[in-house]
Structure 1
Amino acid sequence: MLLSCTDVRKTFGDHVVLDNLGLEVAEHEVVALIGASGSGKSTLLRCVNLLTGIDDGTIHLDGEEITDPKVNPDLVRQKIGLVFQSYNLFPHMTVLDNITLAPTRVHGKSATEARELAMQWLDRVGLADKAKAFPDGLSGGQQQRVAIVRALVNSPRLLLLDEVTSALDPELVGEVLSMIRDLKAEGMTMVLATHEMGFAKRVADRVVFLDAGRVLEQGPPAQVLGDPVEPRTRQFLARIIEAGRL
């Protein structure tokens, strides 16, 4: 397995966010995390990327225990890309400078190499003409695609996407989802937290329903979203359907 989370526990004060959670993700697999707000989706992604420490359990990437205190988190993050729902682009820097900052400052690439790689990615996602633009000159969908490119430019083994369409206007969602579909076709391993149930159904290999910090149900999208076993999953999806989001 590329990613293995075993008995992962995370609390904030008395509040248990991840409750002995277990999850495995195979290489080239796309896993969609669904569940109500507060179910632990975003916290799990942050724990995998070592932005949030866990209280118990282990997380392995490529067979290495990355939650071992002796592990350098910066080296781990070179292998994992994380994209948030808020784009987190530096407003005073151009698109190109936003993308090349980490490769040159953190990962030791030359400025020329970083620029060439960034332009290759921008060209692939149709944004090469925006390289010298500033974030406030881009649409939300364009900014989110730049944020994804920034995560991809370091050739991560795993890409984590945290509600990357939730801050977008509905007409801009499609361009980001199209980019994610293209990444899936290229074999990128992805774990995405999403409220876009229709998208999860189309792009994910497996849907994982989180409830109160645990994996309550998981399986192929058609099964989990179309014929769930657990009453709590059915209740959650009924509300999604009522809101017109599935």
Structure 2
Amino acid sequence: MTLLSCRGLRKEFGGHVVLDRLDFDVAEHEVVALIGASGSGKSTLLRCVNLLEEIDDGTIHLDGEHITDPRVNPDKVRQRIGIVFQAYNLFPHMTVLENIVLAPTRVHKVPRATAVATAREWLARVGLADKAGEYPDRLSGGQQQRVAIVRALVNSPRLLLLDEVTSALDPELVGEVLSMIRDLKSEGVTMVLATHEMGFARQVADRVCFLDGGRVLEQGPPETVFAEPAEPRTRQFLSRIIEAGRL
């Protein structure tokens, strides 16, 4: 079943075309990794899907609903899509628990006791049960990022978008976040992740999409895209990644 369908997406910033008639689909329970050079459109695509950026042309459908229809309430759509960025964006004056229950109680009107129970359950699942009462600045970067992912998951989103969630972390902390994403995959969470972690994309993704010039230039199973890329531009990109020791 197709959960997300993007057709002919176009997005410009100051006359610069970032997405150029891009087509992109995601099936339910699929994990798709977006790879490509900086400026290829990965983050912009995620922001457009979450309606944080308004597209200039094209359509986006979620569960068959045309979510880029001007009559659609974007806040209602975002309740079904979780997004996590490079920066953790946790409120420093609130405890971990309060950061997590804020949206469920204020936006979704979930009873506080229910929201707290769900938050504690998720924290236990990611090994942070003992951090519920801590403030963000008392956590490591990896722990803060896991809290940010939990905050996106407590609302039971249909789709989880992850935008370079390990790029701001020290190398030794990357593993704990990637381990969490592996666990989410095993639970059937539908995810689209923009990443520079090629080894991880190879291990966890069901499909890899190589973006270049604002389009999906090549896509397929990781073993095919990484081992036998069909497009010269894909081969060029991956050869540089290999030379840098990142694949």
Task: Give deviations 1:203-230, integer Å, cap 9, x for gaps.
Answer: 0000000001000000000111111010
Equivalent position of 1:135 in the other structure = 136
Equivalent position of 1:154 in the other structure = 155
Equivalent position of 2:96 in the other structure = 95
Shift of 1:111: 1.2
Task: Give deviations 1:166-193, integer Å, cap 9, x for gaps.
Answer: 0111111110000000000000000000
Give the count of matched residue pairs: 246
Distance in 2 between residues matched to 1:14 and 1:86, nearest whole Å: 27
Shift of 1:112: 1.0
Equivalent position of 1:123 in the other structure = 124
Equivalent position of 2:105 in the other structure = 104
Distance in 2 between residues matched to 1:180 and 1:225, nearest whole Å: 20
Equivalent position of 2:166 in the other structure = 165
AA aligned opposite 1:153? V
* TM-score (norm. length: structure 1): 0.99
Shift of 1:234: 0.6
Equivalent position of 1:245 in the other structure = 246
Shift of 1:131: 0.3
Distance in 1 between residues matched to 2:51 and 2:15, nearest whole Å: 21
Equivalent position of 2:195 in the other structure = 194
Aligned CA RMSD, in angstroms, stands at 0.5
Matched, 1:182 2:183: yes
Equivalent position of 2:61 in the other structure = 60
Name structure 1 gaps, 5 residues minimum: none
Distance in 2 between residues matched to 1:242 and 1:139, nearest whole Å: 31
Equivalent position of 1:21 in the other structure = 22
Task: Give deviations 1:13-46, integer Å, cap 9, x for gaps.
Answer: 1100000000000000000000000000000000
AA aligned opposite 2:12? T
Equivalent position of 1:232 in the other structure = 233
Shift of 1:113: 1.1
AA aligned opposite 1:76? V
Distance in 2 between residues matched to 1:119 and 1:174, nearest whole Å: 22
Equivalent position of 1:5 in the other structure = 6
SS at match of 1:122: helix
Distance in 1 between residues matched to 2:50 and 2:232, nearest whole Å: 31
AA aligned opposite 1:93? M
Distance in 1 between residues matched to 2:69 and 2:118, nearest whole Å: 32
Distance in 2 between residues matched to 1:44 and 1:8, nearest whole Å: 9
AA aligned opposite 1:18? L
AA aligned opposite 1:33? L
Identity percentage of aligned residues:
80
SS at match of 1:2: strand
SS at match of 2:245: coil
Task: Give deviations 1:126-165, integer Å, cap 9, x for gaps.
Answer: 1010001000000000000000000000000000000000
AA aligned opposite 1:105? R
Distance in 1 between residues matched to 2:149 and 2:227, nearest whole Å: 30
SS at match of 1:96: helix
Distance in 2 between residues matched to 1:86 and 1:212, nearest whole Å: 25
Distance in 2 between residues matched to 1:47 and 1:162, nearest whole Å: 12
Name structure 2 gaps, 5 residues minimum: none
